[in-house]
A and B are shown apart, each in its own frame.
Chain A
Amino acid sequence: MTDGRTRRVFVEMFREEWRLHSRLFRGRRFALFPVLIALLAAGTVRLLAVTGTEPGTVFAGLHALAFVFGLHTGSIGLVARDALRNLLGDLTLLVFSARTLPLSQNRLLAVFVLKDVVYYALLFLLPIALGTVPAVVGPGELPGTVPLLWATLTLTFVLGMGATIAGLGLAGRGVAGKALLAAVTASVVAAWLVGVDVVAATPYGAFLAPTAPRLGATAATLLSVFAVGALTFDATDGRQGRTVGPSFRRWRRRVGDPVATKTLLDVHRSTGGVGKALFSAAVLFGVTASLIDLAGQITGVSPSVGVSFGAVLGLSGFTTYNWLTQFDDVDSYLVQPLTVADVFAAKFRAFLLLGPLVGLGVYALALVRRGGPAGEAAVGGVLLVGVACYIFGTTVYLTGLSPNEFLFDTALFAVFGAAMVVPLVPILVVGFVFAPLSLGPLAALGAGGVVLGILGVGLYRRAVPKWSGRYRSG
C-alpha cells in the first residue's frame, strides 16, 4: 500500500471515529466531552493539591492512568478477532474491511492504532493536560509543562496499547510465546524490585528528566514493544472452523436460565475467556493499590485495606456487565417467546454468577497481599457486593443493555460519574479517616453496603419497564 493510500485510510478512519461517536453520543454533546474531561481533571487535581499532594505525585498518577487507558484501548486486539467474524452486525468499520479492500488486516490495524493514538491524544489526553497543569504549577511553568506532559502522557498511552498488542501476540503463539511473555514480564518486575530504574526507560522517565539518554531509552522501549507486537500479533487469527463438544445443557442445568447460560458461554468462549473480566478487575486492583499507597504517603496513615479494596473493586461490576452484554443484542431474543424483562433477568442472573467470582477473587488476592483485620475484610466483602450491585443497577437504569456505547454520552457520563462518587467518596473517607476501624464505623459501612445493594436492585427493577418500552417502540 502506498503512503498516499495509508494517509487516506487514516483520514477516513479518523472521520469514521468522529461520526461514530458524535452519532452514538448525540451530536453536539460529544463535542463537550473534552471540556468535561478537562473540568474533571482540574477539579480532581485541585482537590488533591488542597490535601497537600505534591505535583510530582499527581503527574505520576496521570501517567499511570494513561498507561492503564492504553492497556485497555489496546484490547482492540481482543475485539478485532471477534469483530472480523461479523460480531458487530450492521456496524462495519474500515479496520475490518480487509476482505473487501486490497489492504492487509495487519496494515489496517496499524493505521487504526495510529488513528486511536491521535484521536485520544486530542480528545482525552490534551484536555487532561490542560486541566491539570494550571492547577499544580505556577503560570511561569505553564508553557513548558503542558506540551511536555501532553507528549509523555500520549507516549505512555501508546506504550500501554503496544504492551497489550504485544502481550496478545505472544500469548497467541503457543506455549513458547506464553513462556516468553511470562519471562519478559517477570524480568521487568524483578528488575524493578531489585532497584533498577525501569521508569527511566519509559515516557514518564522522559517527563521527569527530558534528557537525550532518557528520550533515547523511551524510544527504544516503544520500538521494542511495537516490534514484538508487529512480529507476533495476527489480527486475522486463523482459527476457522473451531469445534466444541455440546455444553449448553450441562451449563444450563447449573445456571438454570437459557439466556443466562448462553450469555456465560459467550463470555467463556470469546477471545480472552473469563480472563477478560478478571483483567478488568485486576486493573482496578492496581489503581486501588496505587491510591492507597499514595494516601499513605501523603498522610502517613494507612487506610483500611478491606474497605478501600472492597469498595473500589465493586466498580468491576461495570466491566463485568459490559462483557455480559458484549456479544448479543435484545433483538435476537425477541424472536423467541421472551420479553425484554426476561433478557434483563437473565443478564442479572449471569451477573450474580460471574461478578462475585471476578470481584471477590481479586479482592481475596488483595487481602492476601495487603492483610488487614478480619472484621474489615468481611465488611469490605459486603461493600464489594453492594457496590457491584449498585453499579449494575445504575448502569442498567442509564444504559439498558448497551453499557459501553452510551456511557460516552457526555450527559450520561456525568450522571453516572456523580452516581458513583456520591456513595463511594464517603465510604473511602471513612475507611481512610477512621482506620483501623472500630465496631461502630464497621457496622455503618456494612449497613451502607447492604443499602447500596438494595438500591442497585431497586434501580434495576425500575429500569426494566423503562427499557422494555424503549426497545419495543422500535
Chain B
Amino acid sequence: MLARIAYQVYWIGRYVARAEFTARMLDGVFQASLQAQGDISRQPLSWEAVMAVMGAEPDGSGPVPASDAVRALTLDPESPASVTACVDRAREGARTVRDVVSTEMWEALNTLFLELNDSDLGAALRTGPYSVYSFVRERCALWWGLADETMLRDGSYFFLGAGRHSESAEMIVRMLRVALSGRAGSDPATEGNSALALLQAVGGLEAFRRSVPTPVGPGPVVEFLTFETDYPHSVAASIESLLAALDEVSADGRGTAPVLRLARLRAELEFHRGLDTEIGDELDPVRDGRPMTALLEHIQRELAVVDAEVERRYFTGETPQRQVVSA
C-alpha cells in the first residue's frame, strides 16, 4: 500500500490508543483521590505520577494541583499527550484517509472530536470528570470494535493495529517504570499501592484476580502487567500483537529489521519470566542479574528503536540504500 497512507493510519492508531490510555490514567487518579478522601498525602496515585507517565513534566516541584494536570492532559491542544490533542490529530489523519477508514469509524471518531471541542469541557471536568473520561473510553472502544468489524484485513488494518500496540506497549512500560520509581504516590509508605491503582486504572484488576492465585500485591501486579501474555494489555502481549501486525504487512516475512528486533525482545521477555528471582526487594525482583527496573528501561529503549525502524522500513517508500532516518 502507499507509504503515505500506511504512515497516516499507523499514527491514527497511536493517537487513539494514547487518548484512551490518558483518559484511563486520569480517571484512575480521580478514583485514587476519592479513595484517599481528599487527603493528598494518602493518595496512592498522584497527578505528578500520571504526568510523568505521559511525559508531560510538571513545572516546578511539589504536588501538582488537579486542575493543572487535568488541563495539561485533557484540554491542552499543544501538549502531545492531551486527550483533545490526540483526538484532534487522529481525526485529522482519518479525514485524509477517508477511503481506508469506514464511514462508521469516521463517525465514531468525529463524534468524539465534536463532543470534546464543542461542549464546555472545562466545566464538565470540574463537576463530573468521570463522565468525560468514560465517554472517551467508550468512543475509543467503539472505534476499535468497528475497526475489527468493518475493516478489510489489508495493510491499513494491520498498520492501524501496529500503531495501537506500539503505543500501548510504550505506555504500559512507562507506567510501570513510574510505579517502581517511588514517585507514583504521595506517600512513600504506600508506594506499593500505586501499582495497584495503575492496574485498576488500565482496567486489568479483574483479569489479574482471575489469573493470579496469590493475593493482590504490588510485585505480582508488576509481573502481571509485564509478562502475562494472556492479558491483552500487558507489555508482552502488546509486543506480541505488534509483531504479528508487522509480520502481516511485510512481504518478506520475518526478514525486516523491526520484526527481528521485536522477536528478540519477545524472546527476552519469555526468558526473563521463566527464571527464578534472585535476591532483591519484592517490587524490583532481580533475575539473571537484572532488576526489573533495568529490564523495563531496556524494553523502553528497544521499543523506541523499533519505532524508528518501522518508520524507515515502511513509511519512506524507499529502497533500503536511500532511507534516511528522521531524528
User: Do chains A and B stick together as partners?
Assistant: no
